Amino acid sequence: MAQGLWTVHNRDGQRRVVVTKELPGERWVRLLTAADCRVEVSDSRTILTPAAIEKAIGNECAAVIGQLTEAWQAPLLEKLRTAGGRVLSNYAVGFNNIDIAAATRLGLPVGYTPGVLTETTSELTVALTFAAARRIAEGDTFVRSGRFADCGWLPMLLLGKLLWRRTLGIVGAGRIGATYARMMVEGHKMDLVYHDLYPNEALEASVHDYGAFLEAHGEPGVTCRRAETLDELLAAADVVSIHTVLDESTHHLFGARQFAAMKPHAIFVNSSRGPLHDEKALVEHCRTHPDFYAALDVFEDEPRTEPGLADLPNVVMVPHLGSATGWTRRSMAVLAARNAVAMLDGAPVWNRPDVLVFLEDDAPAAAPGIVNADDLGLPYYQDATEERS
């Protein structure tokens, strides 16, 4: 039922939940209304300001399902807590938009949606990589503009880069970085070099075993090694894809010096977080190095882009589509709703690897992911079930 710029579900629900954007699917709404929640969903297609969110929270609000695009700093978190808020459930796997320390001081759990974005985001990263390597966006524009009809097939038209048997560099070998790496290694026989604070022994073993499989079938193997320094990786890689977390230590991890250290014909891919790269420096480097390509799903000052970026033919851009498949976005909505319901019901926090169980009808009575569970001393599912047994 529409009410101004808000749609209200289960008007008589006893626990008021504010959702700052319409989410895909219907199951997440059913989960909340079944938990006696009155669900108020913003119909706005623009990013809500902190003032608008404060107004929406009002004097009584049990929970908010918010977005990665919103800045949840201490004053807004305090407003939610003062209104009786017991959880902020972020509709994202990342949470750098939230002052977690402030939320913890206020005793406010912060939910996130892990475990359902890995393959989806990895596939998008593969798509971006090849869109840059094979100049897909340029080719699309060339055909749509009528220029292909004018000239037809030409031997020198839009020559791209062959990635087969080249070297892939991964910065941050976590879940998404490692999955993307395996897609590229197994699909395109690329050697892998990665840079991470910690060795990823499972990834190394997987590439080693795949290399042995290739050799057993008469093909050259593939290799994997961990670079001790970022510069070592940049010097070796034909494709550099960044998958590390965003914090003070990684802000502008890629700037003018790092771009200059890469191969002149390299491809830089960022499907992680925009502020990991200095966009002004990237624009300048791409402008002065036409054989260097960048493929971006995220931007430093999203949704705005650095002036000049959109004018560069050697930059491929999409609007933060990493998780944009129907299954993934619907699954994220379910996890966000389950985080809210679990915290409102006083349920424990899940501490097992299989998060997909929360997509089932008989899901455990637990929160799929709470960022600050340890700092808040929240009980974990395994411990809670063991105590009852």
Q: Known catalytic residues? A: 273, 302, 320
On whether the CB atoms of residues 186 and 253 are closer than 8 A, the answer is no
Long-range contacts of 3-9 (CB under 8 A, 24+ apart): 3/40, 5/42, 5/43, 5/44, 6/40, 6/41, 6/42, 6/43, 6/56, 7/40, 7/41, 7/43, 8/38, 8/39, 8/40, 8/41, 9/33, 9/38, 9/39, 9/40, 9/41
Helix 50-57 to helix 74-82 angle (10° resolution) is 10
Helix 175-188 to helix 118-133 angle (10° resolution) is 50
Burial (Cβ within 10 Å: 0-12, 13-18, ≥19) of residue 221:
middle
CA–CA separation, 117 and 76 (whole Å):
27
* Pair of tokens at residue 270: 């960022």
Helices marked H in 189-316 — which ranges?
A: 201-216, 230-236, 256-261, 279-288
Q: DSSP for 149-194?
A: HHH---TTTT-----TT-EEEEE--SHHHHHHHHHHHHHH--EEEE
> Is the preceding omega at residue 303 within 30 degrees of 0, hence cis?
yes
Residue 59 CA, distance from chain mean position: 33
